[in-house]
Amino acid sequence: MAQTARSARRRWSREISSLVDGIAFGGDGPVLLHGYDPPAGGKWLDDVIPGKLGALSRQTGEIVWFSPCEVGYGRGFGAGFGGEGVAVVLGPGQSGHTIVRMSMESGELLGARSIEPFDEALVAADLCVCITAGRISGISTTDMVQTWSHACEGERYHIIGRAEDRVFVVYTIKSTGHQGVLALDAETGQQVGVLLEPRPGRVHGLVAGEGAVVILLEDLASALPPSVLGEWMVELTEAGGDPLASCVSLLALSPTAIAGDTPLWFEPLSDVEAGDLPDVDVTVDSGRVYVARGVLLEVRDALTGRRLGDLTVPGLDERVAWTVASGAGLLAEETRVSIFEIPD
């Protein structure tokens, strides 16, 4: 039975003069914030809107620095931490897509390099993983050069996640429209397996963390191994449920699993209909899965799916971006950034 939702305690909230379009948040250190200033009338001379990057105190929200950034607003964006006091940002620039390194202490530009355009990126201390419909690539966070690329004819790529030495990619078989999840080696980009075989129903989201890859998908029945599906159908029938109900579901798999392995856990979200773009965000951190639905944040154990509690987070339904790290939730609205305490 679901627990009564408590209101999450706000640590701080800060209004930002710029429009916020990206955030980054680690286990310690400051908050990274990327934004841009729209012109009067919303008219631009270029396709790329100039951007700025800021660092805010994790504890108080005070602005440490704000600096113009070579990466602006437009197609594709990623930000994170490159280790040793370095912020890494990549996205569109005035001369094409760019990756930059900036000092976390002062915002000073430490280096920049042109890269291929991308749609989505994950930034880690060792590697930036970028994706387009036709290609996945790895870029060294340290020297900003591409170290590997993966592409296969007949496949289209959509969403990426990473757990330690594996990169997970949602992909579509063009000839059938079926979607599944690939596993790649993070160091080489070589395919090491298929986590989820292509099957009917759209995959809306994927996040990966220590011990679990959590997938938000339609048509759960087609994603379950036959033995698990049979047991589930019996349980649902006895309880008067419908295993073929058209809804979005959560499916958790081990990062080392191969297609057909028994999932860690799964659960249909019966009130989220398939076919729509669900207002659901899933985040994994420190052995917990956080499911954002409107202003409600469900907290679950990553290995079992057991529901640990519910929190209401004011403004979560207006999120531009949202993430959790080390017991704190970072929420970006259009012109406001807030940190909330997320207890275990």
**pLDDT tens track for 124-168:** 999 999 999 999 999 999 999 999 999 999 999 999 999 989 999
Is residue 43 scored above 70 in pLDDT?
Answer: no
State the pLDDT at residue 243: 60
Rounded CA separation 123/168 (Å): 14
As a whole number, mean pLDDT of residues 68-80 equals 89
pLDDT band at 2 (very low <50, low <70, confident <90, very high): very low
**What pairs with residue 310 in β-bridges?**
298
Task: Note down the domain range covering 274.
Answer: 143-278
Asked if the structure places residue 238 within a domain, the reply is: yes
Instruction: Tell me the percentage of the chain whose pLDDT exceeds 90.
Output: 76
Rounded CA separation 271/333 (Å): 25
Task: Say how many domains are in the chain.
Answer: 1
Rounded CA separation 53/51 (Å): 7
State the pLDDT at residue 1: 40
Asked if the structure places residue 296 within a domain, the reply is: no
Asked if the structure places residue 243 within a domain, the reply is: yes
Asked if the structure places residue 228 within a domain, the reply is: yes
State the pLDDT at residue 120: 94
Average pLDDT, whole number, for the chain? Answer: 91
pLDDT band at 278 (very low <50, low <70, confident <90, very high): confident
Q: Which residues contact 214 (CB under 8 A, 6 or more apart)?
A: 206, 207, 208, 250, 251, 252, 282, 284, 289, 302
As a whole number, mean pLDDT of residues 173-197 equals 97
State the pLDDT at residue 247: 84
As a whole number, mean pLDDT of residues 62-86 equals 90
Of 162, 138, 160, 164, give the one whose Cα is nearest residue 150.
138
Is residue 308 scored above 80 in pLDDT?
Answer: yes
Of 157, 189, 184, give the one whose Cα is nearest residue 172.
157
State the pLDDT at residue 272: 76
Is residue 47 scored above 80 in pLDDT?
Answer: no
Q: Is the pTM of this model over 0.85?
A: yes
Asked if the structure places residue 323 within a domain, the reply is: no
As a whole number, mean pLDDT of residues 248-273 equals 92
